[in-house]
Structure 1
Amino acid sequence: MSHSESRQGHSEQDDVDEALKVLLVNRRDIVRRGLRAVLEDSEDLVVVAETAHPGNDPAGSPRAAPDVAVIDAADAAATAEALRKAHAADGGLPTIVVGHDENQTRRIAAAATAAAYLLDDARESEVRETVRRVARGHGGATTRSAWRRESRSARPDVSLTLRERQVLGLISGGLTNREIGAELGLAEKTVKNYISAMFAKLHVAHRTQAAVYGITHGMPSSAPSDADD
């Protein structure tokens, strides 16, 4: 049987049913159009609905229930809450937050309990693979989109001192070693020593992994007055 013959009777709705279905929520038209073009360049992904704001009805009637939502960091909190309510009956809808600044987008994604985050300058292949993995329940695909995966790579049962927790919280807030030292009244070399000790305890190799651990474990963003040095 030829390919053309095998496609006889295969409707557009059949293609939608077979593909992973995406909802786009982004106030920036150019970003939304770009995401649609990138996603629908692959046969296994289809955008079933899109809207500029979480309070608006998606453009057109969704052709099928979405498997994943790709949302704007600027409206992530409101969008995530709206999606939780709308999809509560079917167990919720996994989300991916898209933003410009990595530290800010990572924090927003954590606060919105998103499955992953992506930056505006992500490669097209990274966008598609992240959407596939999240839609299938696997979380983020790369370092920049995998804050949940990064947090799981760290040891969950470590015991950090109060000062180490404080330093980790400030790392999660995007501060540099010098800024952390100024905030805590410590020499930059001392901050580096704390970070080295934490990396060893957490079994992480870089700041992104440590920052993700801090976000997902609620590390404080200010030093206790009686910090244990």
Structure 2
Amino acid sequence: MSEQATLTAAPIRVLVVDDQPLFRMAISSLINDEPDLEVVAQAENGLLAVERAREAEPDVVLMDVEMPVMDGIEAAGLMQEHVPCAKVLMLSVVEDDERLVEAVRRGVHGYLLKDLRPDQLFEMIRAAMRDESPVSPALVGRLFAQLRGGTRSPAPAPVIEPRAALSERELEILRLVADGLTNRQIGRQLHITEGTVKNHVHNALHKLHMENRIQAAAYVVRHGLGLPPQFD
């Protein structure tokens, strides 16, 4: 991030949720060292996380999956009801396919493994604010493989046929999202601006009645729209 942007933009407000005090405080300290990020609250379980989120109104919630009282995935569902503007990023130590799919169904904006380097985590938080729904690279292929072969739907079915609803450009972009590309990478590959990519993703979400790009890309994969029409 440029120095000028750091000086003029308000910092991204983060709520850190983890039942391990040492990890929670350490990650909060690292985040606060970044000039464009600020931890505004902490919580040790999902129930308190919802309460803290309602009080602090964070931009991003960085939340552990496995916690006592209420786990992170259940809390993520409540966040959608009570703090819909907050972007929830799940943190996990294990590659649990079932929990990953359930998190997507609950409308989380990203799913990260705790083996990320600090600079990767910071970029994931910033990516969430760009509506890029970050997922740890090791999990991208597992997510869509699970959704291709699974029986559980990652999101409510849209009321209209997706191929009829989406333009070819929107489908093309969602296929690249399903490959794990960011808006910037998609823009470079298609020779369009990052802003144009974001607009296409936003329009596709609106047409499919979905909350984030992970859900939309998963729907494309599940319904056999992962290849152009002539290859279906």
Bin of the TM-score, shorter chain as denominator length: 0.5 to 0.7
Residue 50 of structure 1 is matched in structure 2 by 42
Q: Which amino acid in 2 is paired with 1:58?
A: R
* CA distance, structure 1, for counterparts of residue 21 and residue 47 of structure 2: 16
TM-score normalised per structure 2: 0.52
Q: Does 1:98 align with 2:91?
A: yes
Identity score, percent:
20
Deviation at residue 137 of structure 1 after TM alignment: 1.6
2:77 to 74, 77, 81: 81
Paired with 2:147 and 2:128, the residues of 1 have a C-alpha distance of 32
What SS is found at the alignment partner of 1:118?
A: strand
Which string of whole-angstrom CA distances, capped at 9 and with x for unpartnered residues, describes residues 113-134 of structure 1?
A: 2111111111111100000110
Structure 1 residues 167 and 98, CA gap change in structure 2 (3 angstroms): closer
Unaligned residue ranges in structure 2 (runs of 5+): 1-6, 152-174, 181-213, 223-232
Aligned to 1:128: 122
Pairwise CA distance, 1:20: 0.6
Q: Number of aligned pairs?
A: 150
Counterpart selection for 1:29 from 14, 18, 21? 21
> CA deviation digits over 1:155-177, x for unaligned, max 9?
xxxxxxxxxx998339xxxxxxx
How far 1:73 moved relative to its partner? 0.9
TM superposition score normalised by structure 1: 0.52
- 1:205 CA drift (Å): 7.8
CA contact (8 A) 1:87 1:93 kept: yes
| Higher helix proportion | 2
Q: Which has the larger radius of gyration?
A: 1
The Cα of 1:77 is off from its aligned counterpart by 2.3
Partner residue of 1:112 out of 106, 113, 122: 106
1:69 aligned to 61, 86, 104, which one? 61
Q: State the 1:100 CA deviation.
A: 0.7
Instruction: Please name the residue that 2:168 is paired with.
Output: none
In structure 2, distance between residues paired with 1:108 and 1:66: 23
Distance 2:123 2:148 in 1: 33
Q: 1:125 to 1:82 in 2, by over 3 A?
A: same
- The whole-number CA distance in structure 2 between the counterparts of 1:127 and 1:73 is 16
Quick one: which amino acid aligns to residue 31 of structure 1?
F
Check the 8 A contact 2:64/2:91 in 1, yes or no: yes
- Asked if 2 retains the 8 angstrom alpha-carbon contact of 1:71 and 1:97, the reply is yes
Structure 1 residues 194-209: aligned runs within 5 Å: none
**Does the CA contact (< 8 Å) of 2:140 and 2:179 recur in 1?**
no
Report deviation, 1:138.
2.1
CA displacement, residues 4-58 of structure 1 (integer Å, 9 cap, x when unaligned): xxxxxxxxxxx8x710111112222222112212211211000111111222243
Q: Distance in 2 between matches of 1:45 and 1:103?
A: 29
Question: For residue 137 of structure 2, what is the amino acid of its counterpart?
Answer: T
Kindly report the root-mean-square deviation, in angstroms, between the aligned alpha carbons of the 2 structures. 4.1
Match of 1:216 in 2: 218
